[in-house]
C-alpha cells in the first residue's frame, strides 16, 4: 500500500491529508511541529508525527521513508523543503507557493528520477491546468486570463478580508511584482496594479488586480497574452496600495526607541492579527478563467466560472477544498503512475494530457467543485470523461 | 521701550517676531535651541539667543527679563513653558496649542498678576474671537461652527497634505477626541468623525471633520451648539481613519525583533517625513465660520469666509501669516495695556470688547488678511473701526 507524507497540517495540508486518507488504499501521515495542529488531526483519526520542517535534514529523513510527499508548508519554507524531498529521491506534489524559481530544482529532480509537481493548488494550479488543457484542444491559444480570490462571506470593514491561508503569503502576494505577458512581451508590473471591476452571479461586483500568479506558465507556455489577477471585494487594493505608497511596506529599518524597525515587519504583525481566519469565519473561493484562441480555422473562446463555499459538514474552508482537492487529485495521479514526466512538472503539463485533466475534474466534481464552463456563444462546454 | 521675547523661532514664531520687530517701538528677541533657526532669523536682522526651552528654569530666567513672552514652541512643550513664564510674573501670549487644560494655570497667573492669552492663533484664536465678538453684538448666540485648515496648493497623492506647523501636532489633532456641544449637551466624538463636504469659491470642494478645536470656548461660552472641524482635500480623513482603525495609531507596544514598538511611533515617523513642508511648498489657509442667534427679537446669521495664501515676497507661509499675525495683534494689545484681565485669558474674552477685536481685524487687514463677511441675506457685514 503506497504511503504519503503530508508536510504541514494547516488548513490546506490537513484537508489534503484527510481527503487522501479517505481512500483505503493509501496510508497517510502528517508531519507538523505544532501540537495543536497534530491534536486536531489526530481527533480525525489521522496519523501524525512531530517534526521540525525548517530543518532540511529532518525533511530528508521523513521523505526517504515514503512514496510521495505533499508539501503544504508556508511559502517562506517551501523551496528548501522541496529541495530536501527531491534530495531524498521521493516524488512530490507541492502547494506551498514559494517565491523562488522552482526550475532551479529541475536538474536535481531529473537526476534523482523524481516527479515534483509544483504550484498544485487552485491558482496557481487548477488555473494552469485549464491553460494546459486548452493547449491540447485549441490549435493555438492567443489569450489566457485568470482572476481568482478567497474571500470571507461576511464583509467586515475596513479590509473585508480574511486570509484563507498563511497571511504572510498574502502580504508576499501584495508586494511581489506581477509578471505577465501582453502581445508577446513580458511585463513586470507592481502588485495591486490595473484594478478592474468584474461582476459575478450571486456575489455581485468584485475587484481584480495584478498579482504574480502565472509562474510556471511563463516558462512552459508561449501564449502571447497571459495575465493573472487576484479578486477581492472592491476597495481592498486601494487600501493596501495606500499603506505601500506611504511607506508601511518599507524594508529599510527606521531608527526607533533606541532600536531599528522595518515598517513591513510591524505592518505584517498588525495585518496578520486582523486577517487571521477565526473558527466562526466562512469563506468562499471565486475564479474566472477566459481563454481565446483558434481551432480548425475558427475563433474559439472559453469562459469558466467557479464559486465554491465553505463545507459546513466537514468544517473545511473553501480555499482548503479547492486548493487541497486539486492537490490530492494530482497526488493520486502520481501514485497511480500516471504522471511519468521527471523533474519539475507544472500543473499545465499534467493537464496537457486530456485524460489526466479529466481525472482531476472528476475528483473535484465528486467533492462538489465544478465549473460553469461556456463557449463564446454561452453554450455549455462538456469535457468528456 | 517694551521688549518682547519670542520662545521658538519656527515658521510661526519667526513670523511673529519679524512682524513685531517691524514696529520701531518694540524690541524683540527670539530664543531657540536650533542654530539653523537662529541663523535664518539673524539674516533678517533679528536679535537671537540660544536657549533650551525644554528647561523650565531657563524659560523662567528668560521670561523674567522682558515685558511680554510669546509662546511659539511645539504643543508638547507648551504647557510647561507657559507655566515657567507665569512663574516669572511676565505677561504671555501663547500659540503652542498644548493638550493640557490651560485653566490649570489660571490661579497662578492671577496670583502673579499676569495676563496670559492662550490659543491665540487662527483657530483656535481668530475663530474664538469671532464668537466673542458675536456675543457682544447678538442678544443670544444659538449656534457657532468653524471649519478651518492649512492646505498645500499643490495636491500630491496620497495625502494631498503638508503640515504648515509641527507635524506631531497634526497627528495629535487626528487622535485627540473632539469635544463639541450639541443642543446644550457636551459630546466627545472621535477625531475625523462626521466628514462632510463643503464648497469654497476658487478652491472647490473640501472635506470637514471633527477635531478638538473649541477648547476655551467650552469653558467661556454657554452657546448650546458649537463645533469645530478641520478642512482637508477630500479623501484625506478616510485614509487617516483607515490607519487608525487598522491599528497603526496603536499605543500598546508590539513585540518586534527582540524589542517592542508602539505602532503610533513608527506611523508618526513615516508621516512626519511625508508631511514636512519643503522650501518650495506653497500653502493656503481656509476658514469658514457661521454664527446664528437673535438680535432685537429677530434671527441673525453671520457667515465669514477667509482664504489666505503664501506670501511670496516675504516668504511667509499662509499658516504663519494667519496664526502669527493674530498673535502679534493681540501681543500689541497687551503691550498697549488694553488687555486688563488677569489670569488665563481666552481669545473670545479679548474680542468680547468690540474695540479690541476691531484692532485685531485692522492689524490683519494691513497684512492682507480679511474676511468675506456676510449676513443671512448675503449682504456684507461691516465691522466699524
The answer to whether the Cβ–Cβ distance between A261 and B258 falls below 8 Å is: no
Q: Is A156 on the interface with B (CB under 8 A)?
A: no
Cβ–Cβ under 8 Å, residues B44 and B28: no
Q: Is A259 on the interface with B (CB under 8 A)?
A: yes
For cell 482637508, the residue is B232
Rounded Cα distance, B74 and B230, in Å: 19
For chain A, what percent of residues have pLDDT higher than 90? 90
CA distances from A254 to A266, B156, B169, B263 (A): 11, 24, 21, 13
| Rg, Å, chain A Cα set | 20
pLDDT at B361: 97
The answer to whether the Cβ–Cβ distance between B261 and A263 falls below 8 Å is: no
Q: A348 CB contacts (<8 Å, ≥6 apart)? A: A128, A129, A131, A132, A135, A216, A217, A220, A221
Q: Is A379 on the interface with B (CB under 8 A)?
A: no
As a whole number of Å, the end-to-end CA separation of chain A is 27
Q: What is the rounded average pLDDT of the residues A67-85?
A: 96
Rounded Cα distance, A51 and A65, in Å: 14
pLDDT at residue A166 is higher than 80: no
Chains A and B form CB pairs within 8 A to the count of: 67
Nearest CA-CA distance, residue B149 and chain A, Å: 22
Q: Which residues of A touch B269 (CB under 8 A)?
A: 254, 256
Q: Which residues of B touch A271 (CB under 8 A)?
A: 246
| Rg, Å, chain B Cα set | 20
Select the residue of A250, A259, A263 nearest B259 (Cβ to Cβ): A259
* Res. A384 pLDDT band, cuts 50 70 90: low
pLDDT at residue A257 is higher than 90: no
Q: Is A238 on the interface with B (CB under 8 A)?
A: no
For cell 427679537, the residue is B297
Mutate to test the interface with B, among A246, A252, A253, A263 (most CBs of B within 10 A): A246
The CA-CA-CA angle for residues A279, A285, A286, to 5°, reads 155
For cell 505677561, the residue is B91
Q: What is the DSSP letter of B149?
A: E
* Res. A382 pLDDT band, cuts 50 70 90: confident
Map residue A292 onto helix, strand or coil: strand
Cβ–Cβ under 8 Å, residues B291 and B302: yes
The C-alpha torsion from A93 through A97 and A99 to A101, rounded to 10°, is: 30
Rounded Cα distance, B326 and B285, in Å: 13
Closest CA to A214 of A301, A125, A332: A125
Select the residue of B158, B242, B269 nearest A256 (Cβ to Cβ): B269
pLDDT at residue A56 is higher than 60: yes
State yes or no: ipTM above 0.85: no
Q: Is B239 on the interface with A (CB under 8 A)?
A: yes
Rounded Cα distance, B315 and B15, in Å: 10
Cβ–Cβ under 8 Å, residues A346 and A38: no
* Res. A167 pLDDT band, cuts 50 70 90: confident
* Res. A165 pLDDT band, cuts 50 70 90: confident
The answer to whether the Cβ–Cβ distance between A270 and B247 falls below 8 Å is: yes
Q: Which residues of B touch A254 (CB under 8 A)?
A: 266, 269-270
Q: Chain A residue with minimal CA distance to B244?
A: A158
CA distances from B299 to B33, B131, B140, B273, B377 (A): 52, 16, 10, 48, 11
The answer to whether the Cβ–Cβ distance between A256 and B254 falls below 8 Å is: no
Q: Chain A residue with minimal CA distance to B265?
A: A256
Q: Is B45 on the interface with A (CB under 8 A)?
A: no
A 10 A CB-CB count for A186 gives: 11
Q: Is A186 on the interface with B (CB under 8 A)?
A: no
Cβ–Cβ under 8 Å, residues A208 and A236: no
The answer to whether the Cβ–Cβ distance between A266 and B271 falls below 8 Å is: no
Cell numbers that stand for B27 in this block: 524690541
Q: Would you write out chain B's pLDDT as a tens digit for each of its 385 residues?
A: 999 999 999 999 999 999 999 999 999 999 999 999 999 999 999 999 999 999 989 999 999 999 999 999 999 999 999 999 999 999 999 999 899 999 999 999 999 999 999 999 999 999 999 999 999 999 999 999 999 999 999 999 899 999 987 788 888 899 999 999 999 999 999 999 999 999 998 899 999 999 999 999 999 999 999 999 999 999 999 999 999 999 999 999 998 877 889 999 999 999 999 999 898 999 999 999 999 999 999 999 999 999 999 999 999 999 999 999 999 999 999 999 999 999 999 999 999 999 999 999 999 999 999 999 999 999 999 886 4
Nearest CA-CA distance, residue B267 and chain A, Å: 8
Q: Chain B residue with minimal CA distance to A241?
A: B158
Cβ–Cβ under 8 Å, residues B260 and A266: no
The answer to whether the Cβ–Cβ distance between A274 and B159 falls below 8 Å is: no
At A273-295, the pLDDT tens digits run 999 989 899 999 999 999 999 99
The answer to whether the Cβ–Cβ distance between B273 and A247 falls below 8 Å is: yes
pLDDT at B382: 86
The answer to whether the Cβ–Cβ distance between A271 and B158 falls below 8 Å is: no
* Res. A385 pLDDT band, cuts 50 70 90: very low
Q: Is B269 on the interface with A (CB under 8 A)?
A: yes
Bridge partners, residue A301, by sequence = A292
> Order of strands across the sheet with B3-7?
B47-50, B27-32, B3-7, B68-71, B91-94, B115-117, B343-345
Nearest CA-CA distance, residue A60 and chain B, Å: 30
Q: Is B238 on the interface with A (CB under 8 A)?
A: no
Closest CA to A199 of A147, A122, A123, A158: A147
Select the residue of A245, A258, A261 nearest B266 (Cβ to Cβ): A261
Rounded Cα distance, A146 and A371, in Å: 13
Reported as type and span, the H/E element at residue B146 is: strand B140-152
Q: Is A358 on the interface with B (CB under 8 A)?
A: no
Rounded Cα distance, B358 and B373, in Å: 14
Cell numbers that stand for A219 in this block: 516558462
The answer to whether the Cβ–Cβ distance between A257 and B261 falls below 8 Å is: yes
Closest CA to A19 of A96, A129, A93, A114: A93
The answer to whether the Cβ–Cβ distance between B266 and A270 falls below 8 Å is: no
For cell 487608525, the residue is B244
Nearest CA-CA distance, residue A120 and chain B, Å: 33
Rounded Cα distance, B147 and A143, in Å: 54
Select the residue of B258, B265, B270 nearest A246 (Cβ to Cβ): B270
The answer to whether the Cβ–Cβ distance between A270 and B258 falls below 8 Å is: no
The answer to whether the Cβ–Cβ distance between A269 and B259 falls below 8 Å is: no
Q: Is B273 on the interface with A (CB under 8 A)?
A: yes
Q: Which residues of A touch B246 (CB under 8 A)?
A: 158-159, 270-271, 274
At A323-345, the pLDDT tens digits run 999 999 999 999 999 999 999 99
Q: A364 CB contacts (<8 Å, ≥6 apart)? A: A126, A322, A325, A326, A329, A370
Q: Chain B residue with minimal CA distance to A252?
A: B270
Map residue B51 onto helix, strand or coil: coil
Q: What mean pLDDT value characterizes chain A?
A: 95
Amino acid at each position: 500500500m503506497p504511503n504519503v507524507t503530508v508536510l504541514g497540517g494547516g488548513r490546506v495540508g490537513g484537508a489534503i491529508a484527510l481527503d487522501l486518507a479517505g481512500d483505503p488504499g493509501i496510508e497517510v501521515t502528517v508531519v507538523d511541529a505544532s501540537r495543536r495542529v497534530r491534536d486536531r488531526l489526530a481527533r480525525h483519526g489521522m496519523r501524525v508525527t512531530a517534526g521540525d520542517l525548517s530543518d532540511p535534514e529532518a525533511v530528508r529523513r521523513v521523505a526517504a521513508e515514503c512514496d510521495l510527499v505533499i508539501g503544504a508548508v508556508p511559502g517562506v519554507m517551501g523551496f528548501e523543503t522541496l529541495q530536501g524531498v527531491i534530495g531524498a529521491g521521493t516524488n512530490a506534489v507541492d502547494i506551498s507557493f514559494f517565491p523562488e524559481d522552482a526550475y532551479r530544482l529541475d536538474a536535481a529532480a531529473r537526476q534523482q528520477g523524481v516527479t515534483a509537481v509544483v504550484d498544485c493548488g487552485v491558482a496557481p494550479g487548477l488555473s494552469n491546468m485549464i491553460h494546459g488543457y486548452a493547449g491540447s484542444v485549441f490549435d493555438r491559444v492567443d489569450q489566457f486570463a485568470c482572476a481568482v480570490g478567497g474571500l470571507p462571506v461576511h464583509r467586515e470593514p475596513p479590509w473585508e478580508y480574511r486570509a484563507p491561508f498563511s497571511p504572510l503569503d498574502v502580504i508576499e502576494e501584495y508586494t511581489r511584482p506581477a509578471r505577465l505577458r501582453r502581445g508577446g512581451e513580458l511585463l513586470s508590473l507592481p502588485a495591486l496594479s490595473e484594478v478592474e471591476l468584474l461582476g459575478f452571479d450571486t456575489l455581485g461586483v468584485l475587484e481584480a488586480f495584478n498579482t504574480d500568479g502565472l509562474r510556471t506558465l511563463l516558462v512552459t507556455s508561449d501564449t502571447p497574452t497571459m495575465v493573472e489577477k487576484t479578486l477581492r471585494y472592491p476597495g481592498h487594493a486601494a487600501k493596501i496600495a495606500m499603506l505601500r505608497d506611504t511607506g508601511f511596506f518599507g524594508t529599510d529599518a527606521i531608527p526607533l526607541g533606541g532600536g531599528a524597525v522595518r515598517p513591513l515587519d510591524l505592518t505584517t504583525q498588525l495585518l496578520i492579527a486582523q486577517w487571521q481566519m477565526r473558527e466562526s469565519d466562512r469563506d468562499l473561493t471565486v475564479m474566472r478563467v477566459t481563454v481565446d484562441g483558434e481551432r480548425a480555422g475558427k475563433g474559439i473562446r472559453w469562459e469558466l466560472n467557479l464559486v465554491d463555499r465553505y463545507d459546513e459538514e466537514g468544517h473545511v474552508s473553501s480555499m482548503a477544498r479547492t486548493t487541497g482537492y486539486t492537490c490530492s487529485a494530482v497526488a493520486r495521479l502520481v501514485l497511480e503512475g500516471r504522471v511519468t514526466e521527471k523533474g519539475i512538472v507544472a500543473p499545465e503539463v499534467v493537464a496537457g494530457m486530456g485524460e489526466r485533466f479529466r481525472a482531476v475534474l472528476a475528483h473535484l466534481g465528486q467533492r462538489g467543485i465544478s465549473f460553469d464552463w461556456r463557449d463564446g456563444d454561452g453554450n455549455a462546454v462538456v469535457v468528456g470523461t
